[in-house]
Structure 1
């Protein structure tokens, strides 16, 4: 039998998903600016050094949050697997964008963090964000959009939504409808 310090990461049962969840809880309460290793450790009821076994510093913590933020977002990635038409993709993207805007509103600064962590081919990475990106791109390809175009349209749609997240509710919804009207036209032209 080992005499481990109960605040050690193994004894406390700290996992990477638990750290990500705790960080998102902190962001919901205090915004990205209020996120620190110490505050996350307090949330997990451990000492801050216990976190360093999984995340070396705040920069890695922010990367972890960006990769796993959508674990708490109720995105239905399986719904993208059932899509067969451009109109279905547009409707699911519209409703998902409205839900995502509400999620970002509950987590001050998260949209900016996600925007700052965007990388090419992010669907090929790990975490819930990569799964959601992958599902959306694969849906476009399945309905007949060439993969490079599918990636481009996804990227534009995602960046527009992130940039517009600060707009008032009605302005966001109207802007989203106008934006998706143009996306629908582009998609229809690509698969015709």
Structure 2
């Protein structure tokens, strides 16, 4: 029987979800600027080289976080699969945006990171971010929105929400109602566009 090095990723039981969770814990405590391979390894009680099986450097670590930061929104994925009306899509998108805002507030710098990783094909591949994006786009398509329009509307909505969160976090003083009022006004326009598309 071969004895494994106790610092190896297999012996330590290190997985991608565990690394993502540890990275989010570091971001919650120290912000994105405090995220390092060493800090994540300490959270996992391993040495930093143990992480290299999954991530080679900080850039890879940031990509991993951006792909896998949304496990807690799995219930929203299921809810999008059951939607039957545009109004239900708007309501779920509104509540999800407010949840994301709170999530980003608890993880300083994460909204900016996600915004910097925003690409038109980020619903492709694996990870909880892609799953959440696919659920939102697929729901619109099932409601009768052409796929190209569904993708565009998702993109506009996601980028507005992220930009609003980043702007809010950068402001030294702000009122809580600004984000919510802006979101409601924005979604009012999105709803009107959706109604036009499916009527």
Superposed CA offset, 1:30-70 (max 9, x none): 01000000000011001111111111100000000000000
Corresponding position: 1:173 with 2:180: yes
Aligned length: 192
If the length of structure 2 is used for normalisation, what is the TM-score? 0.93
Q: Is the 8 A contact 1:90 1:184 kept in 2?
A: yes
Tell me the C-alpha RMSD between the 2 structures. 1.2
**Which residue number in structure 2 is paired with residue 94 of structure 1?**
94
Corresponding position: 1:57 with 2:64: no
Q: Would the alpha carbon gap of residues 72 and 78 (structure 1) be closer, same or farther in structure 2, given more than 3 Å must change?
A: closer
Unaligned runs of 5+ in 2: 169-174
**2:192 pairs with one of 185, 188, 192:** 185
Secondary structure, in 3 states, of the residue corresponding to 1:4?
coil
**Which residue number in structure 1 is paired with residue 82 of structure 2?**
82
Rounded Cα–Cα distance in structure 2 between residues aligned with 1:108 and 1:46: 25
Q: Per-residue deviation at 1:74?
A: 5.5
If the length of structure 1 is used for normalisation, what is the TM-score? 0.96
Q: Per-residue deviation at 1:25?
A: 0.6
Q: Per-residue deviation at 1:75?
A: 4.6
**Which residue number in structure 1 is paired with residue 4 of structure 2?**
4
Q: Per-residue deviation at 1:169?
A: 2.2
**Which residue number in structure 1 is paired with residue 171 of structure 2?**
none
Rounded Cα–Cα distance in structure 2 between residues aligned with 1:97 and 1:156: 13
Deviating beyond 2 angstroms after TM superposition, the runs of 4 or more aligned structure 1 residues are 1-5, 72-75, 166-169
Q: Is the 8 A contact 1:75 1:96 kept in 2?
A: no
Q: Is the 8 A contact 1:90 1:180 kept in 2?
A: yes
Rounded Cα–Cα distance in structure 1 between residues aligned with 2:138 and 2:100: 20
